[in-house]
Amino acid sequence: MKFSAVTIKDIARDLGLSTSTVSRALRDSHEISEATKKLVLEHAQKVHFKPNRIAQSLKEKKSLSIGVIVCEIANSYFSQIINGIESIAYNHGYTVITAQSMESAERELMNLEYLTSSSIDGLIISVSTETNNFSYLKKLHERGLPIVFVDRVIEDIETHKVIADNYKGAYKATKHLIEKGYKRIGLISNNPSLSISRERFDGFKDAHIEAKIPIKENLIEYISHGGMIYEEVEAALNKLYKNKVKPDAILGGSDKITTGCLRYLKNKKIKIPEQVGLIGFSNTDLTDLLYPPLTVIRQPAYEMGEASASLLLSLIESKRPQTKFEKRIQSTELIIRKST
């Protein structure tokens, strides 16, 4: 049997009233007596009546829903961002509709088309590694859809952006490794087309320049799906370890890359930190329980979610078009443990 939600017509039939009377009673109209309002509201509560959001959105031209697209919900970093978004959205009466691109440009576009056809009031997005054509997002922005970028941003779309301080995070991590005596530092990072990868490489590079240590170009590898596919991490590390000069430390450029590196090194029985130091970006809650406990650059993911939701709601609820936009850079934290 197909599910059917309780409607105003059902309440009207149950109470022997007209649908217009029930509708006005639910809207607290002055045209309806207090006794009738009480009768209607008590019955609506009894039968678990909920207003039709689609009908309301057509009437009010507002759906009270926002769309969120991230690469992978199972990634602890993005799940924390989503938690932050929801904490703000629900407090303001908005529903959050979340989709994941799985680092696929095609899937990201499909999600965008679905969410915008569902009349969302605004969008928070972290673009996929495969996305290099931003024309659809630009068209949505030009047509007036409020958009906020979180983590991975598109610089030439003028809107609010919320990022972690990727440059300083990578700089502090690399400097820490150098201060511990490591000289041959490998970097495994996400697709170089992403803003986060470029920012993290710049921090990595500047720490080397400051210490007057040349970067070993053959110890730098980029992978397409940010560690989501372990075999890509494995292939990158195989390349590093085929070099005559092998890394004495590795910096992982994302959550899944960092834990993927740990898995690889353990499988190969390469001792951490005796044979290689390991450090990386990670928001996984259990990094201190791994063996050895991982040194990580932790990003303020929950706070980034809160900030992106607050900025999006400011766009949605503004009575005038906004022309000044923020790029919020949230501080990262270096947590030093035994892996370095």
Same domain, 109 and 67: yes
Q: Which amino acid is at 219?
A: L
Q: Are residues 276 and 316 in the same domain?
A: no
322 & 248 share domain? no
pLDDT at 20: 86
The sign of the CA dihedral 19, 20, 21, 22 is positive
Check whether residue 12 and residue 87 sit in a common domain: no
Whole-number pLDDT of residue 58: 46
The model's pTM: 0.82
Q: Is residue 1 part of a domain?
A: no
Positions of the chain with pLDDT under 70: 1-4, 51-61
Residues 269 and 215 in one domain: yes
Say if CB 299 and CB 281 are below 8 A apart.
Answer: yes
Same domain, 241 and 281: yes
Q: Residues 232-271: pLDDT tens digits?
A: 999 999 999 999 989 999 999 999 999 999 999 999 999 9
- Residue 82 in any domain: the answer is yes
In this structure, are 201 and 291 located in the same domain? Answer: yes
Strand order through the sheet with 333-335: 220-222, 185-189, 249-252, 277-281, 295-298, 333-335
Q: Is residue 2 situated within a structural domain?
A: no
The answer as to whether 337 is a domain residue is no
Q: Are residues 178 and 124 in the same domain?
A: no
Is 338 within the bounds of a domain?
no
Cα distance between residue 212 and residue 82, in whole Å? 41
pLDDT, residue 61, reads 60
The tally of domains found in the chain comes to 3
pLDDT digits (tens, 9 = 90+) for 327-340: 999 999 999 999 99
Clarify whether residues 249 and 317 are in a common domain.
Answer: no
Dihedral sign, Cα of residue 9, residue 15, residue 21, residue 25: negative
Residues 171 and 293 in one domain: yes
Please report whether residue 326 resides in a domain: yes
Same domain, 159 and 194: no
Q: Within the chain, where are the H helices?
A: 8-15, 19-26, 34-46, 53-60, 76-91, 105-117, 135-142, 166-179, 195-211, 230-242, 255-267, 301-317
Is 160 a domain residue?
yes
**Does 130 reside within a domain?**
yes
Q: What is the pLDDT of residue 318?
A: 87
Q: What is the CATH number of the domain that holds 174?
A: 3.40.50.2300
Q: Do 12 and 28 belong to one domain? A: yes
Range of the domain at 294: 166-299
